[in-house]
């Protein structure tokens, strides 16, 4: 069982999926299905694509839902000549409460490095947003025995300059790259081992400040209703970041139920 001082968090990363009507319908279905659970027994955040953030926030607000709206990315500069980018304060304006930084698709498909990810993380915190920092190894790194080494590097660089107090608004998502969208899930023991090592890394960075005990570390990578309970039962797994299974209300709600 995870430590009860860490409330479980389940995130639904919709990625570049669902157009306006589908996004609103899914938000509405989740608001109904998770009333009485989201924000109470389990913190729940959904991450629609940029154009639909405001509409999804409005659906949730009208329903009185405690599901939080998150953004899949955000830029570190406050405003100016950065064509195509969206600032953290703009996200906040439209009802966003949380920003995802360092997702493996941003690292490995869009070419983001640790320095940029760290700048985004600071900008989000400065704007008053919560942050999920995603880390994880590629298959060749796992096979070379470098899983913890890779995670430590991404965490140390991603959290550079962050205070123990700010860590109250940061969640870590361990998302092994080889498990994302592949149907291959880390075994509960492998995921637990990686999470325990990440907790050890936090202990090293924030020595003696209790951050390792209080920070939520959630697992992502082909989590589904059928495998969620076993993963979420591990002592250092405090939730999940869900891709494919977050696009269907019943599947996502089933995972949230498993986190209760
Ligand atoms: P899948 O659940 O589709 O593997 O995606 C996980 C993920 O990338 C969540 O951010």
The alpha helices in the chain, defined as continuous H runs, are 20-33, 53-62, 88-93, 104-108, 114-126, 139-143, 147-158, 188-205, 211-214, 225-232, 249-259
Length of the chain: 260
Alpha-carbon span 218 to 195, nearest angstrom: 8
Ligand 1: which of 134, 171, 221 to mutate, judged by most atoms within 8 Å of the beta carbon? 221
Mean pLDDT for the chain? 97
241 Cα nearest atom in ligand 1: 9
Q: Where are the domains of the chain?
A: 9-259
- Within its chain, how far is the Cα of 40 from the centroid? 18
Q: How far is CA 43 from CA 7, 65, 153, 181, 255, in A?
A: 7, 11, 28, 23, 12
> Residue 245: which pLDDT band, with cuts at 50, 70 and 90?
very high
The predicted-structure confidence for 159-218, as pLDDT tens digits, reads as follows 999 999 999 999 999 999 999 999 999 999 999 999 999 999 999 999 989 999 999 999
47 Cα nearest atom in ligand 1: 10
3 state SS of 96: strand
Tell the residue nearest (CA) to atom 7 of ligand 1.
243
Ligand 1: which of 16, 181, 186, 245 to mutate, judged by most atoms within 8 Å of the beta carbon? 181
The predicted-structure confidence for 53-72, as pLDDT tens digits, reads as follows 999 999 999 999 999 999 99
CATH architecture assigned to 9-259: Alpha-Beta Barrel (3.20)
Prediction pTM value? 0.98
Is there a catalytic annotation at residue 122? no
């Amino acid at each position: 069982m995870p430590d009860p001082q860490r409330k479980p968090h389940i995130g639904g990363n919709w990625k570049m999926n669902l157009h306006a009507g589908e996004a609103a319908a899914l938000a509405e279905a989740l608001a109904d299905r998770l009333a009485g659970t989201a924000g109470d027994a389990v913190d729940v955040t959904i991450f629609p694509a940029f154009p639909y953030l405001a509409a999804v926030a409005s659906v949730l607000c009208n329903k009185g839902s405690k599901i939080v709206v998150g953004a899949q990315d955000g830029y570190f500069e406050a405003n100016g000549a950065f064509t195509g980018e969206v600032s953290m304060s703009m996200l906040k304006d439209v009802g966003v409460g949380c920003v995802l930084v360092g997702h493996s698709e941003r690292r490995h498909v869009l070419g983001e490095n640790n320095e940029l990810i760290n700048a985004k993380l600071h900008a989000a915190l400065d704007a008053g947003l919560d942050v999920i920092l995603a880390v994880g190894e590629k298959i060749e790194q796992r096979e070379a025995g470098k899983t913890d080494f890779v995670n430590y590097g991404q965490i140390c660089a991603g959290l550079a300059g962050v205070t123990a107090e700010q860590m109250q608004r940061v969640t870590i998502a361990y998302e092994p790259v080889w498990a994302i969208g592949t149907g291959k899930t880390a075994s509960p023991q492998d995921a637990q081992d990686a999470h325990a090592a990440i907790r050890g890394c936090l202990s090293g960075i924030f020595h003696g400040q209790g951050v390792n005990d209080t920070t939520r570390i959630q697992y992502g990578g082909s989590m589904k209703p059928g495998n969620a309970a076993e993963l979420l039962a591990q002592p250092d797994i405090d939730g999940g970041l869900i891709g494919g299974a977050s696009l269907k209300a019943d599947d996502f709600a089933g995972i949230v139920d498993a986190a209760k």
